[in-house]
A and B are shown apart, each in its own frame.
Chain A
Amino acid sequence: MSNAQLAWNAMKQRECFTVTEIANTANMDVENCRHLVKRLLKKGFIEIKNGIGVQGSPYVYAVKASNDSPTFGRGGHPGREIKQSGRTGHQLIWNALRINLTVTPKLAQAVTNCSLTSIRRYLLALERTGYVRCHRIDNRQAPADKIGQEHCYRLIRSTGPKAPILRIKPAGVYDQNNRQFYAYSEAK
């Protein structure tokens, strides 16, 4: 972990801080620390709480209540971490799963207006990557006895509000919530 990251962690742990305090905690040069603090202030991660910025009354800073973190070092490229907008059929199916916990393809069709083929394909992909567990009906039953019965998909890994995205190469599912890729072969 770089000094800047150590300093940022130290800032987050305190209610308020001065440049010198952080420099001492992160074992950093005071001037470098001052540059870091100015950069964070400019980008809006921290704010001035007190002080006038002169000897004897230095600026007192505090980390803003936010979950955003600054990036340190070279910026990474998004690569396969590309996200989807929320208005997709898969998002609607995912919503139905999160709210109902157990869905059948027909229920999902009623609340999403997606095609049954698309719903089944998505649910199967989720099953193969361990998001849902399928309770299949007994196909040996007479057709009359199967009325009202359907394969049920139970959500067993709810990672957040964003729907996992299907990936073709490599085959699997990319989770936008925890930024992890689950390959089909890894499913248990």
Chain B
Amino acid sequence: MNRISSLAASVGGLAGKRQGGVSRLLLLPASVAAAMLVGSVFILAVGANPLEAYYYMLIRPLTSVTALGEVSMYFTPLLLVGIGVSFAFHAKLSNLGGEGQMLFGALGMTLMGIPPVGGALGIWSLPAGILLGVALGAGWAAIAGYFKFKFHASEIIITLMLNYVARQIISYLVFYPLRSGAEPQSAKLAAALPKLWATSRLNWGVLIALVLTVVYGVIVRRTAFGYRLRALGDSEKAAVYGGVPKDRYYFLAMVLSGALCGLAGALQVSGNTMRLMEGVAGDFGFGGIVVAMLGGLHPLGIAAAALFMALLSAGSVTMQVKTGIPTSFTSVLEALIVLFVLLGMAVGGMKLGRKGDRS
């Protein structure tokens, strides 16, 4: 214990002298490499070739537009949820409710896209659905935000619990009122997100997500609002001293976070599944947290991490077919990477996420 902390202190001292910049930059690739190394053990256990497996996961999906389209199906929601939860992380709020917020976003898009509304609106059901989805996602997150600042209830537990509630609400809706046909799912949407390429699933969602990532970066770094969020996250007392109405900002951070997750849900329905169904949000709620952590809350980092994770997910299916490694290997790899990043941050004396500095 002592040895570890003194080691951490001495390495931290070194990193501090370099302002943390260089070491932070190296952290992500180093963690990825370490995780892939450990992952190789798993691959070898299956009797497969690690290099081949990583080829199918990371390189193959980049080789054709069609495959890229598949990657984008993961990339868009991961990126949006990633920047969404990052807003909350900046204020040291842990929004673990991305899944629920996505589900409500998906619901918003569905309500606008299916008959009777969808038929009447035609192509206009897309913007209308996006708006409603964003609003519903934000609203679902607002519940946790409200409870947080009104009752000081832990947003960690509340957002987690609300995921399950949201799942059941969606399940109820697709089983009963919105059901269309034999399967528990809604009717097909009237309009789909326009494609960017005829032979690929690449659609406008990618562009929307990328633009918003830039906007996210600008808001966080270059506006008073972002400044105040970050101040609140680093030292609540200092932020209050600086004139930040903290309750309002906690609430806003949560709502903004939910709005982006809601958007992810809306785009997921209109660009991918075309119907509302159970599990439409996939694992993107927690996946977005991984992305935010890996990306160090930096817009470029988040985009890179989202791409990396999307490759893993999209490539894992091919990998399973070709090498026999189960797709669940990707979650092992993801978790390992984040654990290595956290390890690196601890040794480098850096911190991310919530910190309990009450003294």
Q: Judge: A and B partners, yes or no.
A: no
